[in-house]
Amino acid sequence: MLYMSLKHIHLLSIALSVFLLTLRYILMMMDSSVLHKKWLKIMPHIVDTVLLASGIALIFITGFIPFTPAAPWLTEKITCVLVYIALGFIALKLGKTKLIRSIAFFGALGWLYWAAHLAITKVPTW
């Protein structure tokens, strides 16, 4: 029961994180003033904190330990998530042009897709 609750919280926070990234990307591309609303600056941090906490809790509950031979898929998934975060940061903050920001945004979505694939199949590619 606890496992399923945490899993659903984790999945919901992933969906919210992707939604907020996409919303912020679209608003940035439109040069919208809505992007500067306080709730839109705070909410992603709250969602990502819940995402991280639920992920760590799932590691403890399932016993899948990253960076060990027993769960190489989880190590690869964490790597994908770190690249997703870096590309999301480039897409929303560091990219100097909208082209670079767009490439980073779609790249981030691609790495997130790969993290989801690993979470479902638990088959690493490295």
Model confidence pLDDT, tens digit, residues 85-120 = 999 999 999 999 999 999 999 999 999 999 999 999
DSSP 18: H
Q: Could you tell me if 72 and 110 lie in one domain?
A: yes
Q: Could you tell me if 46 and 12 lie in one domain?
A: yes
The range of the structural domain enclosing residue 28 comes to: 1-63
Task: In whole angstroms, give the CA distance from residue 73 to residue 66.
Answer: 8
| Contact criterion met (CB below 8 Å) for 89 and 102 | no
The amino acid at residue 112 is L
Q: What confidence tier does 18 reach under pLDDT thresholds 50, 70, 90? A: very high
Asked whether residue 75 carries a pLDDT value surpassing 90, the answer given is yes
Task: Quote the radius of gyration of the chain (alpha carbons, Å).
Answer: 16
CA 100 to mean position of chain CA atoms? 19
| Contact criterion met (CB below 8 Å) for 9 and 50 | yes
Number of domains forming the structure of the chain? 2
Q: Cα angle at 122 between 118 and 126, to 5 degrees?
A: 70
pLDDT at position 70: 85
Task: In whole angstroms, give the CA distance from residue 7 to residue 10.
Answer: 5
Q: What is the mean predicted confidence (pLDDT) over 31-48? A: 95
Q: Could you tell me if 54 and 21 lie in one domain?
A: yes
Asked whether residue 59 carries a pLDDT value surpassing 80, the answer given is yes
- Domain termination site, one of 28, 45, 63: 63
pTM of this prediction exceeds 0.85: yes
Tokens representing residue 40 in the block = 């839109």
Asked whether residue 1 carries a pLDDT value surpassing 90, the answer given is no
